[in-house]
Amino acid sequence: MKCPVCGALDSRVLDSRPVEDGASIRRRRECVACGKRFTTYEMVETVPITVIKKDGRREPFDRHKLKNGIQIACMKRNVDVEKIVSDIEGELINSMETEIESRKIGDMALTHLRDVDQVAYVRFASVYREFRDVDTFLSELRVLRRGKGKDNAPS
């Protein structure tokens, strides 16, 4: 690791510990040449994920967009939004797919919400599936009530 003070390439690790989120490691280093200490962070390099939108546009996966959508559905509900978003992001990364349709991400969010909070599930579904009238809303409630929310999801 290159020293930020003198530019020497040789340093030794004094201390290593995981960062709070567990996704990276903090290393305290000392330059062998000048003796100055500095900190580096090591994390797993992930492949960027491209989201294919309904209209065919492609854009980079944006964790914050997903989180905002789920937060709106979970407003005034006791739901750990961060955990849901992290779980979905982890599933996307682990799938090793570089491109994914936005529909699949929405379906993943619905699956997680259905398991955690049915009110948040219906709120999210009403926007995600573009409910146009009360009948569509009631139909989704019937499906949810039967416990077949993911199997009978409209396409």
> Sorting pLDDT into bands at 50, 70 and 90, what band is 21?
low
Q: What is the pLDDT of residue 59?
A: 96
State whether 79 and 134 are in the same domain: yes
Strands 50-52 and 99-101: parallel
- Residue 67 · residue 85 · CB < 8 Å: yes
Helices (H), 61-151: 63-73, 81-94, 102-116, 118-128, 134-146
Q: Cα(first)–Cα(last) distance of the chain, in Å?
A: 51
Tens digits of per-residue pLDDT, 98-143? Answer: 999 999 999 999 999 989 998 998 889 888 777 778 888 788 788 8
Range of the domain at 34: 11-43
Average pLDDT, the chain: 87
For residue 63, what are the contacts with CB-CB under 8 A and spacing of at least 6? 85, 89
State whether 62 and 138 are in the same domain: yes
User: Is residue 24 pLDDT above 90, yes or no?
Assistant: no
User: Is residue 149 pLDDT above 60, yes or no?
Assistant: no
Helices (H), 8-80: 63-73
- State phi, psi for 28 to the nearest 5 degrees: -95, 125
Total number of domains in the chain: 2
State whether 23 and 97 are in the same domain: no
The overall pTM is greater than 0.75: no
Average pLDDT over residues 41-70: 91
Percent pLDDT > 70 in the chain is: 94
Residue 69: inside a domain, yes or no?
yes
State whether 135 and 88 are in the same domain: yes
